[in-house]
């Protein structure tokens, strides 16, 4: 190699370099031991080289000696992450020097945090053991980070500044009243529903007695163990009771609309027996009259009439914001409406009136915006108005003449002219188009409801003349007892299942209630489940679709905000003997807010309700 031209005199072989390293390590070890054995000498770190790239815990070898430094290693690539490099730099020297890149990165993050921008990049933050009294970039970074954490919605701190807190979420302690009939309720919760099954004989008897006497036991505010709470189980049995007429043990009489398959194959002895049909209708008329008398005396809050064609809801005065007795019928047909008009029953179509008002308001806005333009163009159009009037007069003459042009052609006898009935049906096409639709809902108010009761009793079309429901009177449903009624109980059962949530299985408890579920039943069940399930449950509501439109507003009389609470409180007091809880009456007194929709889902989270329609 000495003969080569590129030879360098300072070059040393690797073996020579290693020999020099070992010799230097031995000399430094002897010098360290001598310093440690001298009196008054403290612990020294001279044995560890300041530029050693290894971790302090790995500097010593297996035999207890010092591990040599890797000559091919560098300080910046020994550790894989920026945090390890920062820690090594901190432990390697008592006063590390901050790099320009780390300093600029800290300043950038501080500026982003001032603008409330979260930076997701990993930053190299080098800490100093001793902080100077002067300006420090680390203190700026920590202060900004603290402010962002305080303003974060996930951080719940009572010391958070007033300007950084998120707006409070509205807590709904009650949900709007739903006047539609439900066929099935499915409650789910993480807490068990085992307390709602296998009631004792005493608890079942207590629930029936409380329902018949229209009394309600007070439940404890905090229910630790629902299964051992007798008051809760008795109240659950009480909430499942309802009254119905007529009743046949082998035949389910709800729902009635579209239930032909449910009646097929069942024994119907009244179908061909006229005397039996008259007897059933006589008893049914007595029961309906009894219900209306209770409703008028405010001893029954409401009741339903379920026919094979429509469903009628009668409500006492004060419910749903109405000042008098109201009745809603849905769906209706043109023939039924014409028959009601012939009997002198005054009614209205709330959804059509609302739609008409919306159109009028939109047209009035458009007219006001175009009024200025019309006034500007009035002078230009006045010149052509005479000609247009002449043309209109000619067209009106043609319409009045009717089929005069056929006479001029001489074919008037060969063309069949439309009769008066066809012309009338063509004009009333919009009225016929409403049949069996939600827009056909009819509202009857005041004294017209009494006329409606007489109309239902004497209407021959109320009972089917053929089919599986022939000769069967409509079903009457009510929360209170009435003449000829039978006490029924809704079916309830609880099931525990496992549902897959991500990669694991979660226990979910469910409670299913089936039958004709009225508004007071839904409210009573939710009032019981609030403390029993510790404020956490969800419910799926299966609505009887023909009755979903019964949530339309029942009054068009505007009331002021000051008089409305007084009227509601007065209505609650007057309905104190109707047989329902005060909280349920307070909910039913509120004006209807769902329109033609019905509740489909109900969620209770932390004693706060959310719902979907």
Q: Is the predicted pLDDT of residue 212 greater than 90, yes or no?
A: yes
The average confidence (pLDDT) of the chain is 77
β-sheet with 608-612: strand ranges across? 491-501, 504-517, 182-189, 536-543, 601-605, 608-612
DSSP string across 332-401: --HHHHHHHHHTT---B-HHHHHHHHHHHHHHHHHHHHHHHHHHHTHHHHHHHHHHHHHHHHHHHHHHHH
Q: Is the predicted pLDDT of residue 367 greater than 80, yes or no?
A: no
Greater confidence (522 vs 46) lies with 522
Which sign, positive or negative, has the C-alpha torsion 257, 260, 263, 267? positive
- Confidence bin at 22 (pLDDT 50/70/90): confident
Q: Kindly state the DSSP code that residue 470 receives in the 8-state scheme.
A: B
- Confidence bin at 121 (pLDDT 50/70/90): very low
When mean pLDDT is compared over 13-17, 27-31, 72-76, the highest value belongs to 13-17
Residues 52-67 as b or e (16 or more Cβ within 10 Å = b): bbbeeeeeeeeeeebe
Judged by average pLDDT, the poorest of 267-271, 386-390, 402-406, 597-601 is 386-390
Looking at residue 105, its pLDDT comes to: 64
CA proximity to 17, closest of 66, 75, 68: 68
Looking at residue 426, its pLDDT comes to: 63
Greater confidence (109 vs 492) lies with 492
Alpha-carbon gap, residue 462 to 308, rounded angstroms: 8
Looking at the chain, the whole-number percentage of residues with pLDDT higher than 70 is 62
For the residues 113-139, what does the mean pLDDT come to? Answer: 43
Looking at residue 456, its pLDDT comes to: 96
Reduced to 3 states (helix: H, G, I; strand: E, B; else coil), residue 232 is helix
- Tokens (6 digits) for 394: 């000619």
Greater confidence (144 vs 312) lies with 312
DSSP string across 536-549: EEEEEEEE-GGGGG
Q: Are 611 and 594 in contact (CB under 8 A)?
A: no
Q: Is the predicted pLDDT of residue 463 greater than 90, yes or no?
A: yes
Q: Is the predicted pLDDT of residue 210 greater than 70, yes or no?
A: yes
Q: 41-100 pLDDT, tens per residue?
A: 444 444 444 444 444 444 455 545 556 667 776 555 555 555 555 555 555 444 444 445
Looking at residue 538, its pLDDT comes to: 95
Alpha-carbon gap, residue 380 to 373, rounded angstroms: 12
Looking at residue 141, its pLDDT comes to: 38
Q: Are 351 and 554 in contact (CB under 8 A)?
A: no
Looking at residue 222, its pLDDT comes to: 80
Greater confidence (115 vs 589) lies with 589
Looking at residue 549, its pLDDT comes to: 94
Q: Is the predicted pLDDT of residue 211 greater than 90, yes or no?
A: yes
When mean pLDDT is compared over 129-138, 368-377, 456-465, the highest value belongs to 456-465
Looking at residue 133, its pLDDT comes to: 40
Greater confidence (133 vs 206) lies with 206
Looking at the chain, the whole-number percentage of residues with pLDDT higher than 90 is 47
Judged by average pLDDT, the poorest of 84-88, 364-368, 369-373, 559-563 is 559-563
- Bridge partners (DSSP) of residue 330 are 311
Alpha-carbon gap, residue 539 to 611, rounded angstroms: 9
Looking at residue 480, its pLDDT comes to: 96
Q: Is the predicted pLDDT of residue 556 greater than 70, yes or no?
A: no
Angle at 520 (CA atoms; ends 518, 523), nearest 5 degrees: 115
Q: Is the predicted pLDDT of residue 411 greater than 60, yes or no?
A: yes
- Confidence bin at 196 (pLDDT 50/70/90): very high
Judged by average pLDDT, the poorest of 51-60, 75-84, 122-131, 439-448 is 122-131
Looking at residue 399, its pLDDT comes to: 45
Residue 590 phi/psi, 5-degree rounding, is -60, 145
Q: Which residues contact 179 (CB under 8 A, 6 or more apart)?
A: 313, 315, 320, 328, 519, 547, 550, 551, 592
Q: 326-346 pLDDT, tens per residue?
A: 999 999 998 999 999 999 999
Alpha-carbon gap, residue 583 to 327, rounded angstroms: 23
Greater confidence (427 vs 244) lies with 244
Q: Is the predicted pLDDT of residue 408 greater than 70, yes or no?
A: no
Q: Are 294 and 480 in contact (CB under 8 A)?
A: yes
CA proximity to 305, closest of 322, 325, 327: 327
Q: Are 537 and 510 in contact (CB under 8 A)?
A: no
Looking at residue 13, its pLDDT comes to: 86
Burial of 483 (0-12, 13-18, 19+ CB in 10 A): middle
Residues 115-154 as b or e (16 or more Cβ within 10 Å = b): eeeeeeeeebbbeeeeeeeeeebeebbeebeebbeeeeee
For the residues 431-458, what does the mean pLDDT come to? Answer: 90
Which sign, positive or negative, has the C-alpha torsion 383, 388, 390, 391? positive
Q: Are 446 and 314 in contact (CB under 8 A)?
A: no
Looking at residue 433, its pLDDT comes to: 75
Looking at residue 1, its pLDDT comes to: 46
Greater confidence (264 vs 559) lies with 264
Element containing residue 283 per DSSP (H, E): helix 274-296
- Confidence bin at 388 (pLDDT 50/70/90): very low
Looking at residue 553, its pLDDT comes to: 86
Looking at residue 112, its pLDDT comes to: 62
- Confidence bin at 144 (pLDDT 50/70/90): very low
């Amino acid at each position: 190699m000495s003969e080569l031209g590129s030879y360098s005199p300072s070059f040393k072989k690797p073996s020579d370099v290693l020999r020099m390293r070992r010799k230097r390590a031995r000399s430094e070890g002897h010098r360290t031991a001598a310093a440690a054995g001298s009196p008054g000498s403290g612990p020294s770190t001279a044995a560890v080289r300041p530029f050693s790239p290894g971790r302090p815990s790995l500097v010593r070898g297996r035999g207890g000696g010092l591990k040599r430094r890797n000559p091919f290693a560098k300080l910046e690539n020994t550790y894989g992450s920026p945090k390890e490099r920062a820690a090594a730099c901190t432990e390697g020297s008592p006063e590390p020097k901050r790099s320009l890149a780390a300093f600029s990165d800290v300043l950038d993050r501080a500026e982003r945090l001032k603008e409330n921008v979260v930076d997701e990049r990993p930053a190299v933050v080098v800490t100093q053991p001793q902080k100077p009294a002067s300006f420090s970039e680390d203190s700026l970074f920590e202060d900004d980070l603290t402010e962002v954490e305080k303003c974060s919605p996930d951080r719940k701190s009572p010391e958070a500044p007033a300007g950084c807190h998120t707006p409070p979420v509205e807590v709904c302690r009650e949900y709007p009243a739903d006047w539609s009939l439900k066929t099935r309720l499915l409650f789910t919760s993480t807490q068990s529903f085992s307390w709602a099954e296998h009631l004792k004989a005493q608890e079942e008897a207590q629930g029936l007695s409380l329902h018949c006497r229209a009394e309600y036991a007070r439940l404890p505010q905090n229910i630790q163990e629902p299964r051992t709470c007798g008051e809760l189980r008795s109240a659950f049995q009480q909430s499942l009771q309802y009254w119905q007429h007529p009743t046949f043990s082998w035949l389910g009489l709800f729902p009635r609309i579209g239930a032909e398959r449910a009646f097929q194959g069942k024994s119907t002895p009244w179908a061909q027996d006229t005397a039996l049909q008259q007897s059933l209708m006589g008893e049914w008329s007595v029961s309906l009259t009894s219900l209306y008398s209770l409703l008028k005396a405010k001893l029954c809050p409401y009741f339903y009439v379920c026919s094979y064609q429509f469903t009628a809801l009668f409500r006492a005065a004060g419910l749903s914001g109405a000042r008098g007795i109201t009745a809603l019928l849905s769906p209706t047909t043109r023939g039924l409406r014409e028959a009601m008009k012939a009997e002198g029953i005054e009614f209205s179509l709330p959804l059509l009136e609302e739609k008409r008002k919306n159109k009028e308001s939109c047209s009035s806005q458009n007219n006001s915006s175009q009024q200025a333009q019309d006034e500007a163009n009035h002078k230009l159009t006045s010149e052509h108005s005479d000609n247009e009037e002449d043309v209109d007069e000619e067209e009106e003459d043609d319409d009045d003449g009717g089929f005069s042009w056929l006479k001029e052609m001489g074919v008037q006898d060969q063309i069949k002219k439309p009769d008066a009935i066809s012309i009338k049906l063509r004009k009333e096409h919009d009225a016929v188009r409403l049949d069996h639709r939600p827009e056909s809902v009819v509202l009857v108010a005041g004294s017209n409801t009494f006329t409606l009761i007489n109309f239902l009793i004497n209407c021959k079309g109320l009972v089917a003349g053929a089919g599986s429901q022939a000769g069967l009177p409509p079903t009457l449903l009510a929360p209170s007892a009435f003449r000829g009624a039978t006490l029924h109980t809704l079916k309830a059962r609880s099931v525990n299942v496992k549902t897959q949530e991500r990669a694991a299985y979660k226990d979910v408890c469910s409670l299913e209630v089936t039958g004709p579920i009225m508004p007071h039943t839904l409210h009573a069940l939710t009032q019981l489940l609030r403390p029993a399930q510790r404020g956490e449950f969800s419910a799926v509501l299966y609505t009887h679709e023909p009755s979903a439109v019964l949530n339309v507003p029942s009054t068009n009389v505007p009331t002021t905000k000051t008089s409305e609470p007084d009227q509601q409180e007065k209505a609650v007091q007057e309905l104190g003997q109707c047989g329902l809880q005060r909280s349920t009456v307070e909910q039913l007194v509120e004006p209807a807010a769902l329109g033609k929709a019905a509740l489909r889902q109900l969620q209770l989270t932390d004693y706060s309700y959310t719902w979907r329609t």
